[in-house]
Amino acid sequence: MAFEQNSNLDLQPAPKPGAFGKFYLQELINSGGMADIWLATDQAGATFALRKLKDSLKFNFVDRRRFMRGCVILSQIHNHEQVIKYYEHGKINGSPYCLMEYLESSNLKQMITLGDAVLQEFVGNILIDMAIALEHVHDSGFMHMDFKPENVLVSRSGNIRLVDFDLARPKPEKPEKLSRNPGTPAYMAPEQLRREPLDHRADIFAFGVTAYELLTGQKPFIGDTPDEILRKQLYRGSDFPTPKTLNPDVPPALERSVMKCLERDPDKRHPIMSVLVHELQNALYV
């Protein structure tokens, strides 16, 4: 099975603060497989989040194209409360970068791991706002293709921002097969793991995995390889724990919505995000 996965392994020296064109990189906020995110200031002292392609990937043309494509897509869809705000992108000394709003936040994965109290207080709002963010992406004509807790920022007041559009692509009119298969296996739909044609409903599956993890603290399908995760998805038995089994506080209607997202057959999932948003709002009495 041909497969690509973002890697967090980076043996290069840790990047250091300093001048970067008209900006000053103050503090490294986060470092992922493709890019470093800095707290940056401009010459007027305004604060931003500056995402910069890793220096080790400067001559990796596949990753450069993904990075720049993600910047262009973000520039077209950022005008939404639940999507990270975009200011500009370009290259400085040959290094691609994207300038975005700075939000004092943690990513959802970190908060789930730590059992952050913010999640208990705002879990309903977070679920609905994540769905609304993904609805906006789809309505704008794109699929995110890497929806997962690491790509959802959450502030202390429970506000969320969807980030990282490097793998995003235009939403097809009918399912189509991808020439490459980048992403994170634990959040991929069965049709993507099997390299079959897919559409926006792959994002709906990823939303279901993320929602399950938010509600229970664990992923629904755990495996060390894409093949193992696929087997868990396709051959889950009667012992597959539903969200309410692991968290009795989950309302039955919410559980049904999450489990529908996780259907192995895309035709059995919600057809569009708007339907899911409506279900979540009803389930959570919003």
CATH number for position 149:
1.10.510.10
pLDDT digits over 14-42, tens only? 678 999 999 999 999 998 889 999 999 99
Lowest mean pLDDT segment, chosen from 128-142, 148-162, 180-194, 271-285: 180-194
For residue 250, give both structure tokens.
Answer: 């989950």
The question of whether 146 is a catalytic residue gets the answer yes
Q: Which is it for strands 105-107 and 86-92: parallel, antiparallel or unpaired?
A: unpaired
End-to-end CA distance of the chain: 43
Q: How far is CA 60 from the centre of its chain?
A: 23
Q: Which of 178, 7, 174, 143 is nearest to 70 (CA)?
A: 143
Q: What is the crossing angle of helices 252-261 and 201-216, to 10°?
A: 140
Specify if 1 maps to a domain: no
User: Based on the domain organization, do 129 and 213 belong to the same domain?
Assistant: yes
CB count, 10 Å around CB of 282?
12
User: Based on the domain organization, do 171 and 129 belong to the same domain?
Assistant: yes
Q: What is the pLDDT of residue 2?
A: 35
Average pLDDT, the chain: 92
Q: What is the pLDDT of residue 9?
A: 44
Catalytic residue among 146, 164, 199, 203: 146
Out of 100, 133, 162, pick the residue that ends a domain: 100
Residue 5 has pLDDT above 80, yes or no: no
How many separate domains does the chain show?
A: 2
Specify if 40 maps to a domain: yes
